[in-house]
Amino acid sequence: MKLRNLTALAATTALCAPMAFAADMADEMTIVSWGGAYSNSQIKAYSEPYAEKTGVTIINDESSAEAVAKLRAMNEAGNVTWDVVDVVAADAMRLCDEGLAMEIDPDEHLAPAPDGTSAEDDFGDLLVSDCFIPQIVYSTTFGYRTDLVGDTPPSKICDVFDLEAYPGKRALEKRPINNMEWALLCDGVAKEDVYDVLETEEGQEQALAKLDTIKDSVIWWSAGADTPQLLADGEVVMGSTYNGRLFSVIEEQDQPVAMLWDAQVFDLDGWIIPAGLSDERKARALDYIYFATDTQRLADQAKYISYGPARASSAPLVGQHAELGIDMAPHMPTDPENSKNTFLYNYEFWADYRDDIDAKFQAWLAK
Amino acid sequence: MSDTTQSGPVLSADGTPLKRSLARALRMQKVRALMLIAPLLIFILLTFILPIADMLFRSVENRIVADTLSETVVTLEEWDAMSGDAPGEAVYESLYYDLFVAAEAKEHTKLGTRLNYEQTGISSLFRSSGRKMDDFGEDHVEAIEDASDGALKDAALWYEIMTGGSSDAGNTELLKAQRSKMAQLTGEGFGGDIGFVPGADISETFPRLARAYTDFALFVAVMDGDVVAEEDPWESVFVAFAQEVQAPGGAEKIAGYTGPGAAELQAAAAALADLEPISFKQTFVDIDEDWEDVGNWRTIQTYSPKYTSGYFLNSIDMQKGVDGAEARPENQQIYITLFKRTMFMSLVITGSCILLGYPVAWILANLPTRTANLLMILVLLPFWTSLLVRTSAWKVMLQQQGVINDVLVWLGLVADDARLVMINNQFGTIVAMTHILLPFMILPMYSVMQTINPTYLRAAKSLGATNWTAFWRVYFPQSVPGIGAGSILVFILSIGYYITPEIVGGTKGVFISNRIAYHISSSLNWGLAAALGTILLAVVLLLYWAYDKIVGIDNVKLG
C-alpha cells in the first residue's frame, strides 16, 4: 500500500512540483485503522484521492484494536507517531477523557454540507465526544443460517433466546455490552427502561439470569471475524457481529446466511487526532480530516463496505457497490426497512458501568 | 647497623607499593570485562529490569488523586466516612477550586476514569461536573463584572491588583507552592519566569483570591504561552473574590484594603452585598446529586494516599472497605478462580507434554543420526509455523462441524446430533497448547538423552535387569534433568499464555493473562493489570524456588 501511495506521490510531484504541499504541513502521515476490508474502503475512498490531490505519503497502520492502549503508551513515552486514528466512539470518549486526543470544533475544522448546512448540524447527534469526528454508522446485529432454522426464520431479537424454536448454538460477543440490553429486552423490560433497569444490581442480575437460559448454547466471540466463520462452518445457527461482516458473508461469499435486523445496536466509528502533535503534523491531520469527512467522501466509502455514512447529507449520495454492482442503500443499517427497531449504543452509560458490569459478566462466564 | 631492612611495603619497579599496583591491574581487568558485557547488561536493564520495576511500581502507585485534588484530599481527611453524612462546606469549597483548575487542564476526566474503577459512576460525575464549573456563583461573577462600569473586566487591572503594584515585595512563597501544585497536576515543568509574582499584601488579605489568580497566571503563562496581564482571569478568581468578601470579616477586609484597584474592588464588594454567599455544596448537589453520595466521597478518601494496596486487593477478589480490606461481592469474584485455573491447566499441559514428548525424545536420541534429523524436522516444523495458524488449525480440527467430529460421525462412533464438544472449553485449550509447547519439552529432553551412554543400559541388562528395571532404575534417572528443564520451560510459558486460550478457550479455558490483556488494552486499568502481573511473577518465582528445593536447579540441563 505504501508503495502505491509513493507512486502517487511521485506522479503528483512531477505534475505540480511547485505547489506540491503547503509549507506548513507535514508531507508524510500515519493513518491508523482496523485493517481488512474496512481499511481498504477508507484507502479507496479517502487516502488515495487525498494522496493524489496533495502528494502526501500516507502510511497505513492497522492497530485500531489496541489504539487506546498504544496511544497512552506513546503519550507516556512522549513520542506519538500516529497522525489520524480510526476508533469507535466509546474509545474516542476514553481518549478524550484521558487527554490523549485533541478537541476538534466541527464548524471550524470540518467541511459544511454542499447545501451550506454547517458540519455540526450535518453530523447532528452523532457528535458524541468533543474529540471525535464520526465517519460511519455500523451496527451490531444478528445473522442466521437460512438452512438451519426451519421454515419460519427468526424475525425478532428474542428468537435468539428461544432454544425450542431454534435449537443449536448461538455466537455472542464475550462482553456485556449489547448482550445485557438484548437479554433485558427479551425478559419483558420495555426498550426505554433498559438502561434504568441495568443501572441496578437487580437489573444486572436479571439480565445475567436471562443469558443463563442460553449460556450452554453460546459460543462467545472476541474478534469480529469469528461469527462469520462460525456461520459459514455451520457451527452456530445464529450469531451477532458487525453488519458489514455479515454483508460480506451473504453478498460476497454467497453463504446461506440472512440478516436479522431487529434490535440492532448502532455504533459509530470515526477519526480522532492524537493530542500533542507538532504544528505541521496537526495541520496535515486536520487537512486530511477536512477532506475525508466531507459529504461526497463519506458517501464514497459506502461503495466498498455496507456501513452508513455519518453525515445526513451523504445518505442520498450512496450508490452501488464498486465491484458487485448492487445497490448499497438496502444493506445500510440506517435503511428505513432495516431500522424499524434499533438501539443506539449508550456511551455515557457504558463509560460508567463498563468496568463494574464487565467484572460481573466475566465472573458469571467463569462460573 | 642501619641496614636497609625493608620495613615499609614492598615496592614495584616504578616505586609504587606493589599492593596498589596489583590492585590497579586487577581493577583494569575488571573494567575491561565489564565493558565487554556492558551492551548485554544495558540491554537487559532497559528491556527487562526497568519494565518490570515500572510494573511493580504501577501496581501500588496512586498519585493521581492527590495530584489532581490536592486541596480536597487535605480537607477531606477530617471527614468521618462512617458518619453517613456527606462532608461539610469546606470540602466542597476545596473541591471547586481543585476541579476548576483540573477542568482547565483537562485532568479531571483522567481522575474520573481512575476512580470509576473503584466506584461506578464517578467517571461521568467528573466529566459532566467539569463542564459545569461556570455554574458556581454565576450571579456573583456577573455582579463583579458589572460593578464600576465593567472596570473589573479589564485583564490589566486585575494584573495590577494581584501584583500589588510596583512597590509590593511579592509573595514568592505562594508562587512556589502553586508552581509545584500545577506541576503535579499536569505533569509539565512549571519552572521559569511567568511574568507574575502575587503581591504580598493582597495574598495576606485575600489568600484564596491570590491562590486562584496565581493558578490562573501559571496556567496561561506556561500551558498557553500567553502574557498574564493580557488575559481575562478565570471565573474561579471572581468566585474567590466573592467568597472572601462575603465571608465573615470580609467586609472589614475590603474596607481596609488600600492597594491598587481599591475603588473598583470596593464597588464590586458593594454590588455583592445583596447576594447570598456562594454555597459550593449546594451548587455541586444541583449539578449532580451524586455529589451528596457518601460512597463517592468514601472512595475519594480511601484512594487519597499516593500509594495504595487497592490494586493488589482487587487482584485477589478483595476491596478496600471502610474499615480495611474486605471480600468483594461474590458475583464479582473472578481473579482467584483464574489464578487457580491458570496453575491447574499449566500443570496439566506440562504433564501431557512430558507424556507425549518423552517417547519422541527417546526415539530421536536412539535412532541413527540421519533418520533422527529427519524426525527432528518434523518436530520443529510446527515450531516454525505461526502461532495463530496452528491455533486456528485446531479450531478447524476440533469444532463440532470439524474434521475429527466429521470422521467420528462417518465411522458411526458418534451420532450426528451428538457431536463432541472439543473446543471453546478447557479441553480445547489443553490440546492446542500441548501441541504448541511440545517442542519446548522435546528439545531439552532430546539433548539430555543424547548424552546418556547406551552402554549403561546394556550393562544393567547383562547384570540381569529386566527391560523395565533397566529403564526405570538406570535410564530414567539420568533423563530427569531433561524433564526438569522442559517442564520449567513449558510451565512458565503456559502460565503467561494468552492468544491460544483467547481463541480456543471459550469461557472455561481462559487464563489470567487474558484478563491482564483486557485491563491493558480495553479497560486501561494498568494498575490492576500490573498488580495481577506482579502476583503472577511472584507465583512463578515461588514455584521456581520450590522446584529448586525439591529437585535442585543444578539438576536442570538444556543439553
**DSSP secondary structure, A120-143, as one string:** HHHHGGG--STT-EEEEEEEEEEE
Answer left, alpha or beta for residue B153, where phi above 0 means left and psi between -120 and 50 means alpha: alpha
Q: Which residue has the cell 500589588?
A: B164
pLDDT for the residue numbered A149: 92
What distance in Å separates the CA atoms of residue B551 and residue B110, rounded to the nearest whole number?
Answer: 49
Q: Are residues A251 and A278 in the same domain?
A: no
Q: Give B333-366 pLDDT, tens digit per residue.
A: 999 999 999 999 999 999 999 999 999 999 999 9
Q: Give B499-527 pLDDT, tens digit per residue.
A: 999 999 988 899 999 999 999 988 899 99
Beta-bridge partner residues of A204: none
Q: Are residues A37 and A104 in the same domain?
A: yes
What distance in Å separates the CA atoms of residue A360 and residue B340, rounded to the nearest whole number?
Answer: 19
Measured in angstroms, the CA of A261 and the nearest CA of chain B are apart by: 26
Burial class (CB in 10 A: 0-12, 13-18, 19+), B169: exposed
3-state secondary structure A313-325: HHHHHCCECCCCC
What distance in Å separates the CA atoms of residue A355 and residue B334, rounded to the nearest whole number?
Answer: 13
Chain-centre distance for alpha carbon B177 = 28
**Within chain A, where are the H helices?**
2-15, 36-42, 48-54, 67-77, 89-97, 106-109, 119-123, 179-185, 194-198, 201-212, 226-232, 243-247, 279-292, 295-301, 347-366
Measured in angstroms, the CA of B302 and the nearest CA of chain A are apart by: 18
pLDDT for the residue numbered A258: 95
Query: H-helix or E-strand containing B52?
Result: helix B50-58
Contact A102, A271 (CB under 8 A): no
Q: Average pLDDT of B85-114? A: 94
pLDDT for the residue numbered B11: 81
The answer to whether position A338 is within a domain reads: no
Beta-strand ranges (E) seen in B410-519 are none
Q: Give B452-480 pLDDT, tens digit per residue.
A: 998 999 999 999 999 999 999 999 999 99
What single DSSP character describes residue A258? E
Beta-bridge partner residues of A238: A144, A170
Banded pLDDT at A32 (limits 50, 70, 90): very high
Work out the mean pLDDT of chain A and round it to a whole number: 90
Closest partner residue to A72 among B333, B399, B524, by Cβ?
A: B524
How many independent structural domains does chain A possess?
Answer: 2
Residues of A in contact with B514 (CB under 8 A): none
Q: Are residues A252 and A146 in the same domain?
A: yes
**Interface check B500 vs A, CB under 8 A:** no
Q: Are residues A29 and A79 in the same domain?
A: yes
Q: Are residues A169 and A263 in the same domain?
A: yes
Kind of pairing between the strands at A257-272 and A84-88: antiparallel
Number of residues in chain A: 367
Kind of pairing between the strands at A342-344 and A84-88: unpaired
Q: Which of A347-356, B12-21, B302-311, B439-448 has the lowest mean pLDDT?
A: B12-21
pLDDT for the residue numbered A331: 92
Whether residue A91 is predicted with pLDDT greater than 80 in this model: the reply is yes
Q: Are residues A75 and A183 in the same domain?
A: no
pLDDT for the residue numbered A256: 95
Whether residue A19 is predicted with pLDDT greater than 90 in this model: the reply is no
B interface test, pick of A97, A218, A221, A235 with most B CB neighbours within 10 Å: A97
**DSSP secondary structure, B175-196, as one string:** HHHHHHHHHHHH-S---S--S-
The answer to whether position A330 is within a domain reads: no
**Interface check B338 vs A, CB under 8 A:** yes
The answer to whether position A98 is within a domain reads: yes
pLDDT for the residue numbered A8: 46
Residue of A nearest to B506 (CA): A220
Residue of B nearest to A169 (CA): B400
Q: In CATH, what class is B335-555?
A: mainly alpha
The answer to whether position A325 is within a domain reads: no
Banded pLDDT at B6 (limits 50, 70, 90): low
Beta-bridge partner residues of B321: B324
Between chains, do A362 and B523 touch, taking CB under 8 Å as contact?
no
Banded pLDDT at A23 (limits 50, 70, 90): low
Q: What is the ipTM, given to two decimal places? A: 0.88
Percent of chain B whose pLDDT exceeds 70 = 98
Q: Which residue has the cell 575491561?
A: B32
More confident residue, A85 or A343: A85
Contact A227, A140 (CB under 8 A): no
Q: Are residues A8 and A120 in the same domain?
A: yes
Residues of A with CB under 8 A from a CB of B: 65-66, 68-69, 72, 94, 96-99, 169, 174, 205, 219-220, 222, 233-235, 348, 351-356, 358-360, 362-366
Q: Give A305-334 pLDDT, tens digit per residue.
A: 999 999 999 988 988 998 888 999 899 998
Q: Are residues A95 and A220 in the same domain?
A: no
Three-state secondary-structure class, residue A272:
strand
pLDDT for the residue numbered A24: 81
The answer to whether position A90 is within a domain reads: yes
Question: What are the backbone angles phi and psi of residue A61, rounded to the nearest 5°?
Answer: -120, 145
Between chains, do B507 and A358 touch, taking CB under 8 Å as contact?
no
Banded pLDDT at B559 (limits 50, 70, 90): low
Write down the domain spans for chain B.
16-58, 65-133+281-308, 137-277, 335-555
CB pairs under 8 A between A and B: 85
CATH code for the domain of A173: 3.40.190.10
Give the cell for residue A123.
453530523
Of A148, A323, A326, A150, give the one whose Cα is nearest residue A239.
A148
pLDDT for the residue numbered A14: 41
Q: Are residues A244 and A359 in the same domain?
A: yes
pLDDT for the residue numbered A13: 42
pLDDT for the residue numbered B84: 86
**Interface check B47 vs A, CB under 8 A:** no
What distance in Å separates the CA atoms of residue B190 and residue B183, rounded to the nearest whole number?
Answer: 6
Whether residue B404 is predicted with pLDDT greater than 80 in this model: the reply is yes
Q: Cα–Cα distances in Å, from A179 out to A161, A198, A202, A206, A209?
A: 11, 11, 16, 12, 12
The answer to whether position A29 is within a domain reads: yes
Whether residue B207 is predicted with pLDDT greater than 50 in this model: the reply is yes
Between chains, do A99 and B107 touch, taking CB under 8 Å as contact?
yes
Q: Are residues A302 and A171 in the same domain?
A: no
Banded pLDDT at A10 (limits 50, 70, 90): very low
Q: Give B304-342 pLDDT, tens digit per residue.
A: 999 999 999 999 999 988 778 999 998 889 999 999 999
What distance in Å separates the CA atoms of residue A239 and residue A236, rounded to the nearest whole number?
Answer: 7
pLDDT for the residue numbered A15: 42
Work out the mean pLDDT of chain B and round it to a whole number: 91
Residues of A in contact with B507 (CB under 8 A): 174, 220, 365-366
The answer to whether position A332 is within a domain reads: no
Banded pLDDT at B168 (limits 50, 70, 90): confident
Radius of gyration in angstroms for the set of CA atoms belonging to chain A, rounded to a whole number: 21
Banded pLDDT at A17 (limits 50, 70, 90): very low
Number of residues in chain B: 559
Give the cell for residue B31.
573494567
Structural domain range at position A71? 2-131+273-317
Residues of A in contact with B399 (CB under 8 A): 233, 235
* Core vs surface per residue A114-152: b (16+ CB within 10 A) or e: eeebebeebbeebbbbbbbbbbbbbbbbbbbbeebbeee
Q: Are residues A88 and A205 in the same domain?
A: no
Residues of B in contact with A87 (CB under 8 A): none
Q: Give A36-64 pLDDT, tens digit per residue.
A: 889 999 999 999 999 999 999 999 999 99
Of B501, B538, B481, B127, give the one whose Cα is nearest residue B315.
B538
Between chains, do A69 and B524 touch, taking CB under 8 Å as contact?
yes
Q: Give A174-212 pLDDT, tens digit per residue.
A: 999 999 999 999 999 999 999 999 999 999 999 999 999
Q: Are residues A23 and A114 in the same domain?
A: yes
Between chains, do A98 and B113 touch, taking CB under 8 Å as contact?
yes
The answer to whether position A336 is within a domain reads: no
What single DSSP character describes residue B11? B
Q: Average pLDDT of A258-286? A: 95
Measured in angstroms, the CA of A310 and the nearest CA of chain B are apart by: 25
Closest partner residue to A366 among B112, B337, B521, by Cβ?
A: B337
Residues of B in contact with A65 (CB under 8 A): 521
Q: Average pLDDT of B415-440? A: 93
Give the cell for residue A225.
471475524
Between chains, do B507 and A97 touch, taking CB under 8 Å as contact?
no
What distance in Å separates the CA atoms of residue B130 and residue B297, rounded to the nearest whole number?
Answer: 17
